[in-house]
Structure 1
Amino acid sequence: MLTERQQLILRAIIDNYIRSAEPVGSRTISKREDIGYSSATIRNEMADLEEMGYLEQPHTSAGRIPSNKGYRFYVDQLVHMPFMRAEDAQHIRRVFAEKFYEFEQVMNQAASILSGLTNYTSIVLGHEIKSSRLKTIQMIPLSSHSAVVILVTDTGKVENKTISLPKEIEIGEVERVVNLLNAKLMGVPMAELRNRLHTEVAKELGRYIQQCEYFISLLEEALKHEPDDHIVLKGTTNIMMQPEFRDVDKVRDILTLFEQNEMVVRLFDSQERGLQVRIGSENKEQAVSGCSIITATYHLDGQPVGTVGILGPTRMEYGRVMAILNELADNLTNAFERFYKSGA
């Protein structure tokens, strides 16, 4: 366990290094008014902190920099989450007060805000809710033998697929089919649509069109629904502005990772409540072993439905980023619940 003096010195070193990106010496720390120890005392404590694995000494400098272990202790024990600047909080709340017609718009806005406020790479990951339901279905004729089927879910997702129409079907019949589908399928979970098509729609559909079986097969394909993850990345090149990432190969590996959705989901996905901070080698992917990832979940009816997060250097303003993520996650939760329950 670190002594109170060691904790004070470790915090001062990390705070200074976060601001300067330069190794920190004992003389620099001794000049701080909140320390009150001589340079020699600080130097001895720094040597002990290095021996315990909390600090490292780059071979080119007499100063010290935090290790991953040092950052972990800092985040868990020393960092204090500051209040957000009033103008930042007001900006976030003003954006979320706007009317959105698709939740993807909310995700885009959240990612842009987060990247803009932090200058790191931001991500908003939204899982499609398993219980999402059909809000409405439309069928718009494109020609005498084709139409586009538009599905709108109660979470604001819009899907559209083009189908071929039976030659004999008339516009009036299409309208009756759409009315029947809305009457029978509105409010049905998306995953159950094709099953309900056969159990509740097929028999009655035979009253409207002659080629019922053929039309049912077309609708079955149109109603095919594959749940997916929605990923919004912003500021992907911000990592290049950090002095730790002057190595072109390092940057290339990270940017390549951003192009792999499955990898991004694996890195940022979190079903744990609250803020999660992974530092350096705690991230299993080699490409981001020199980065920190901070995530927070947003919820619907108390259940996590998505993640908002940041990727940046381990030399990160942890307290400020955590405060911003907390505020964004709360606003995403409120926006999602409002959107989902009101049907936009």
Structure 2
Amino acid sequence: MLSERQQKILRAIVDEYIVHAEPVGSRTVSKREDIGFSAATVRNEMADLEEMGFLEQPHTSAGRIPSQIGYRYYVDHLMGPERLKRSDLIMIRQLFASQMDALEQTIQQTVSILSRITNYTSIMLGPELYDNKLKHLQVIPLHDRMAVVILVTDTGHVDQRRITVPEGVSLSWIEQMVNLLNAKLSGVPLFRLKRTVYKELYQELSRHAEHYEYLQGIIDQMLVADQEGRIFTSGTTNILTQPEFKDVEKVKALMELFEETDTVVQLLSNQEDTGVQIRIGQENHLEAVNNCSIVSASFTVNGRSLGTIGVLGPTRMDYRKVVSLLEVLTRDFSEHLRRIYG
């Protein structure tokens, strides 16, 4: 545990560095109204904080910057809520007050507003085509060991998947299973498909015990949501305005990351159903974002998590502002979805 004085000094250094992006010296900290310690006292405490791993000293400066450990301590113990600007709150409320029935339009507007207010990159994993229902499935044989399964929704969305047919499984048997699924699942919302299959069709499907494991795999392939259709981003080039990312290689790695659908999904995966999560630097387990932080939260309807919205920025992120924004956005967006879908 840090002493109260060390906590105040660490908080001051993080706050100063977030605003100015320059190493923070002891004189700068001592002049703050909320500190009240001499520059010499602050300097000694800064040396101790560096030794404990909370601060780092760039070679070219006498000042200190927060380490990733320092940021983690800050967000866990020192960061208070931020009062958002009235203009930002009005912008959010106007978005959800407008009667936009098109979910995709609402999502795109939401990520756009979030990136505009924060000046970071915003990402949303949207609902799995929440407002679409299954119209029918169709299987088209390509050859003995390969087929294409086509999923059509009531809104005309078409998704197709290639499936491999193993030895001992006939295409006629697969067609029989697809006909069964059509009979039971037509009109079911896409996000409920897999749950409905395993809850309501388990007994019928388990009669085909010799192929049941393969059948599960096929159903998973057929009914998996199209990830690309779920990912919405805004402000992907905002990172270029941050002084930490003048290194071309760092920026190149990040830009390439946004082109990899699975990787973007991974960034926001394992999100808890409630609350805001903060992952700092190497906690993200992806080299491209080792110098970034990701703050994310889920939005829900009737207790069910439907998607995740997140903000990606430098570790020198304004955490207080981003957390407060996400708390407001996820609450209002969840309420908006409840009004539309009940």
TM over 0.5, yes or no?
Answer: yes
* 1:55-78: CA deviation from partner (whole Å, max 9, x where unpaired): 000011110000000000100111
SS at match of 1:82: coil
Matching of residue 68 in structure 1 with residue 68 in structure 2:
yes
* 1:223-276: CA deviation from partner (whole Å, max 9, x where unpaired): x76522300010001001000000000000000000001000011124302100
Shift of 1:159: 1.1
Residue type at the aligned position of 2:133 = L
SS at match of 1:315: coil
Q: 1:228-307 residue pairs with structure 2 within 5 A?
A: 228-229=226-227, 230-272=230-272, 273-307=274-308
Q: Structure 2 CA distance, aligned partners of 1:10 and 1:246?
A: 26
Residue type at the aligned position of 1:134 = K
Q: Structure 2 CA distance, aligned partners of 1:61 and 1:7?
A: 22
Q: Structure 1 CA distance, aligned partners of 2:10 and 2:85?
A: 26
Q: 1:125-140 residue pairs with structure 2 within 5 A?
A: 125-128=125-128, 134=133
TM-score (normalizing by structure 2) = 0.75
SS at match of 1:117: helix
Shift of 1:132: 6.6
Q: Structure 2 CA distance, aligned partners of 1:321 and 1:110?
A: 14
TM-score (normalizing by structure 1) = 0.75
> RMSD of the TM alignment (CA)?
2.7
Residue type at the aligned position of 1:231 = I
Q: Structure 1 CA distance, aligned partners of 2:153 and 2:7?
A: 57
Alignment partner, residue 112 of structure 2: 112
Flag the 1:226–1:9 CA change in 2: closer, same or farther, 3 A.
closer
Q: Structure 2 CA distance, aligned partners of 1:268 and 1:185?
A: 30
* Identical residues among aligned pairs (%): 52
* 1:122-164: CA deviation from partner (whole Å, max 9, x where unpaired): 01112417x8763889xxxxxxxxxxx97336xxxx5158xxx
Q: Structure 2 CA distance, aligned partners of 1:226 and 1:76?
A: 36
Kept in 1: contact 2:295–2:311 (CA 8 A) = yes
Q: 1:93-108 residue pairs with structure 2 within 5 A?
A: 93-108=93-108
Flag the 1:13–1:232 CA change in 2: closer, same or farther, 3 A.
same
Kept in 2: contact 1:271–1:297 (CA 8 A) = yes
Alignment partner, residue 144 of structure 2: none
Q: 1:14-93 residue pairs with structure 2 within 5 A?
A: 14-93=14-93
Consecutive unaligned residues of structure 1, counting only runs of 5 or more, are: 138-148, 162-182, 196-223
Q: Structure 1 CA distance, aligned partners of 2:184 and 2:305?
A: 30
Please say which structure displays the higher CA radius of gyration.
1
Flag the 1:47–1:35 CA change in 2: closer, same or farther, 3 A.
same
Q: Structure 2 CA distance, aligned partners of 1:184 and 1:293?
A: 41
Q: Structure 2 CA distance, aligned partners of 1:59 and 1:184?
A: 67
Kept in 2: contact 1:271–1:304 (CA 8 A) = no
Alignment partner, residue 325 of structure 2: 324
Flag the 1:7–1:185 CA change in 2: closer, same or farther, 3 A.
closer
SS at match of 2:126: strand
How many matched pairs? 277
Shift of 1:305: 1.2
Q: Structure 2 CA distance, aligned partners of 1:126 and 1:270?
A: 15
SS at match of 1:123: strand
Flag the 1:56–1:85 CA change in 2: closer, same or farther, 3 A.
same
Q: Structure 1 CA distance, aligned partners of 2:188 and 2:16?
A: 56
Q: Structure 1 CA distance, aligned partners of 2:48 and 2:185?
A: 69
* 1:75-119: CA deviation from partner (whole Å, max 9, x where unpaired): 011111112222211210111112223211111011001000000
Flag the 1:270–1:185 CA change in 2: closer, same or farther, 3 A.
closer
Shift of 1:339: 1.9
Runs (4+) of structure 1 moved beyond 4 Å? 183-186
